[in-house]
Structure 1
Amino acid sequence: MSVHETIEQALVAPSYLAGGGDPGWVTVPLHRACDWSYGHDPLMPRVILTSPDQQATLRIDPDPDEPWWTVRHARCGDRPAWSATFDARTPVEIIAALTDALTAPTPPAPGLEPYDLLRQAGWHTVGEGLISPGRIAAIEHYGGEDGPWFADARLDQDEGGLIWRAYLSNTTPPHLIAAFAQALADPTPVRRPVGRVPAPAREHTLTRTVHLPVGDVAFALEQRVAALSARRKDATSNTHPPRSPRVPPPRRTR
């Protein structure tokens, strides 16, 4: 591979219209940087990853009539069980925002509420929820504090206009909801192979084609894995500071 070689890529904004992307953006870091284990059944077209403590699972099940992505966490002490589901065309960057927050060594300090994050990005109130500036993506905390969260991207209100839908249970930890909302609000374009942006959404995106070095594209996932591995290593070193060197006792003299 020559250092001068380039590859054509599409930079797509808003990210929630970019299409699903490569599932490895989520699954590979969970396995390699966070030690989630997986079972392998070559006769079943699905992926199941399990956290080291056996409390959380991520499942990808390509059922055309059900959400493809499911994240579940079991009850832990006084914290209730929770779940989140995402349709096939939910951008992997948005799902990764939730799984990255889930696997963070320590939860972040409380920040802005999800609705406040989105309002700062130009989303505005419609009914009980918020809608994006282009009126394509929407989110609603159904029923208030005790209700689940629903989000979707759609070109019209007919079922055929739906691009993707997400559901987060009412017991989903607040910092995970915030991470999901932050990803929805993020204006940073995401990369996709040219021609892989969903056709119905193309006229509603700002897409430009660029030529990037092959290495930048080929090693983007490796860099992501390395960054998450470093995050975990740094947290471990801060939790267990190095011991002071043992000083031998003074020698006795006559």
Structure 2
Amino acid sequence: MRKKQRHGWGTGDQAEQHYLVQPRTLAGGGDLRHITEYLRAAGWTDKSQVGGPLVFASPDTTVRVGYDPFVQPGGWTISGRATAAQDAWHAFLGQRTPVEIVAGLTDALAGPRSAHAPNAWAPLVQQNWSVAREPHFTATSPNSDSWVQWRQEDDGPPYWWAGAQTEQGRSWSANFTSTTPLHLVAAFTSALADPAPVMRPLGHVPPSNRITTRSASVLPSELRDWQQNRIEAGLAVRVQRPRATPGARPPQGWDRARSAGKLR
């Protein structure tokens, strides 16, 4: 099983040039398998068609994760259908969103949900993102290249908006409906604010004066081991997944009020 799972991550053991990139928000899309192999190992069903977009369905079929690079603007579409305990919700993340940031959300989808209501702003504040309350509640990264915003325009519905930009313009953006479960938004903001660098192979580092890189020689066997760790983490989630039990529906508007609430 291990040999089969590792197939395709690399062959031979000649050192290859990679780069550690900071900030991670500007590192470019990355390897999709960082997300898909984890979901597959966690028990999600791969419904992708050969030559078409990627589509994964959760074990209980209530959530779908898709990636479509063949349309404009292309990217990740993640949707949860309405259940007795949760309104329908949708999230879209552009195709240049770093996979490590998308995985913050998709890993949380695959794992157990906390009984406590998280504060989605807390991971940003802990990493010294600045906060402005007008005209929209906004957190901005220390280098001013990335943001998270809770927006409501005129009489339209509120929504989460996040993204990053370089001196060349917008790198990517993400939108979440106000009904998106807060633990997913918090998982996304936690991955977004993480100061740790991410790794990209030679030729896959976006051109920008706003990023810093550190060269690293990496053996294919090391890459396979790192990816195998992701697979094993997904398998652990599958083993630990509790049986689904009916839950009480939260009061109407609770998510909206909490997400727009004050920092704590």
- TM-based fold match above 0.5: yes
- Deviations along 1:48-94, one digit per CA (max 9) or x if unpaired, are 11112211111111145234110001001131011111111000011
TM-aligned CA distance change 1:41 to 1:232, over 3 Å: closer
Structure-1 residue corresponding to 2:176: 168
Match of 1:48, SS state, is strand
User: Within the alignment, does 1:83 sit opposite 2:90 as a pair?
Assistant: yes
Offset at 1:236?
Answer: 5.2
Considering only CA atoms, is the larger Rg found in Structure 1 or Structure 2? 1
Q: Which residue of 2 aligns with 1:179?
A: 187
Question: Equivalent pairs: percent with the same residue?
Answer: 32
Which residues of 2 match residues 149-164 of structure 1 at below 5 A? 149-155=160-166, 161-164=169-172
CA contact (8 A) 1:67 1:85 kept: no
Distance 2:72 2:128 in 1: 33
Please, which of 127, 148, 157 is the counterpart of residue 139 of structure 1? 148
| Residue 57 (structure 1) aligned with residue 64 (structure 2) | yes
- Give the partner amino acid of 2:194: D
| TM-superposition CA deviations, 1:130-184 (whole Å, max 9, x none) | 111111111101139x72100011125xxx6110000111000011010001011
My pick for the range that moved more, 175-184 or 44-53, is 44-53
Which residue, 221, 225, 245 being the options, matches 1:215?
221
The one-letter amino acid of 1:65's match is Q
For 1:13-32, what aligned pairs fall within 5 Å after superposition? 13-31=22-40
Taking structure 2 as the reference length, the TM-score comes to 0.79
Q: Does 1:105 align with 2:112?
A: yes
Which digits, 9 at most, give the CA deviation of each residue in 1:189-233, with x for residues without a partner? 11110221111x3x1112100112331112322210101212332
1:230 aligns with 2:236: yes
Q: Is this contact kept in 1: 2:29–2:95, CA < 8 A?
A: yes
Distance (whole Å) between structure 2 residues aligned to residue 98 and residue 39 of structure 1? 20
User: Deviations along 1:22-67, whole A, 9 cap, x unmatched?
Assistant: 1111112111x2222123433x431111112211111111145234
Structure 1, unpaired ranges of 5+: 238-254
3-state SS, counterpart of residue 197 of structure 1: coil
Instruction: Give the count of matched residue pairs.
Output: 228
Q: How far 1:7 sits from its partner (Å)?
A: 2.2
Counterpart code for 2:60:
D
Superposed CA RMSD in Å reads: 2.3
CA contact (8 A) 2:120 2:183 kept: no
Distance change in 2, residues 1:231/1:53 (3 Å)? closer
Contact 1:69 1:86 (8 Å CA) reproduced: yes
The residue correspondences of 1:37-56 to structure 2 (distance < 5 A) are 37-42=45-50, 44-56=51-63
User: For residue 203 of structure 2, what is the aligned residue in structure 1?
Assistant: 195
1:150–1:167 Cα contact (<8 Å) kept: yes
Task: Give CA-to-partner distance per residue, 1:103-152, whole Å, 9 cap, x none.
Answer: 113436444x22232122111124421111111111101139x7210001
- SS of 2:203's equivalent in the other structure is coil
Q: Secondary structure at the match of 1:114?
A: coil
CA contact (8 A) 2:26 2:166 kept: no
Contact 2:81/2:88 (<8 A) preserved: yes
Counterpart of 1:243 in structure 2 is none
Structure 2 unaligned residues grouped into runs of 5+: 1-10, 244-264
TM-score w.r.t. the length of structure 1 is 0.82
* C-alpha distance 52-65 of structure 1, shift in aligned 2 (>3 A): same
